[in-house]
Homo-oligomer: A and B are copies of this chain.
Amino acid sequence: MRRKDTKERILEASMKLFSEKGIRETTIKDIAKQVGVTEGAIYRHFASKDEIVLGLFQTYSEDFYRRLISAVRGESSYRERFSETIRAFLSFCFENPSAFKYLSLFHYLRAKDVKSFSPLPKDAILELMDEGIRKGHVKVKQEYALALFVGLLERTFLLVEAGILQKEEVLVEDLASILWKAIS
């Protein structure tokens, strides 16, 4: 069982370590130790450290996008889907804090590489905002709407991570009504 998915465990360990200490400051040896194997074993599953770094971004970026887009394209009313998307965003953050932090870090350090991935999570939000503008719900510039949406949720997550806000206190409905007010 354990042995089965060494590859999976390498990815998990890497993401954890990358998000905690940074990519460059995490060594293959660190990852190997965390997984419980030796350095050489990593190379049986990945051709290079960068393959892990890139693979990780791809995997989690896609996952994040899929969760968001599925909320965005739901069946319910626009306002309900608006809330659902916020919920999906925060679920992802709180279920995988390392992953979310890793995605942010990757944006900072590998801005150029980000461009080769598509679709990105923000594309889901943009789709939601586009629809809102077309339907008249969103009255501010699309870019501001995106900046507000992502900015508020990311910062909220960071405040929780920093211990300034308790996860339990973060209410999707509060955030949804604040954002809704801001953009309409």
Q: Which residues of A contact B (CB under 8 A)?
A: 21-22, 24-25, 101, 104-105, 108-109, 111, 140-141, 143-144, 146-148, 150-156, 158-159, 162, 164-165, 169, 174-175, 178-179, 181-183
Contact = CB atoms under 8 A, between A and B. Distances in A.
A112 to B, nearest CB: 10
A146 B174 contact: no
A28 to B, nearest CB: 14
9 contacts: A22-B24, A105-B109, A140-B178, A141-B174, A144-B175, A146-B159, A147-B155, A150-B151, A152-B152
Contact of A178 (B148, B155, B169): B148
Nearest to A126: B164
Nearest to A145: B178
| Copies of this subunit | 4
Given A164-B143, A182-B179, A152 B159 contact: no
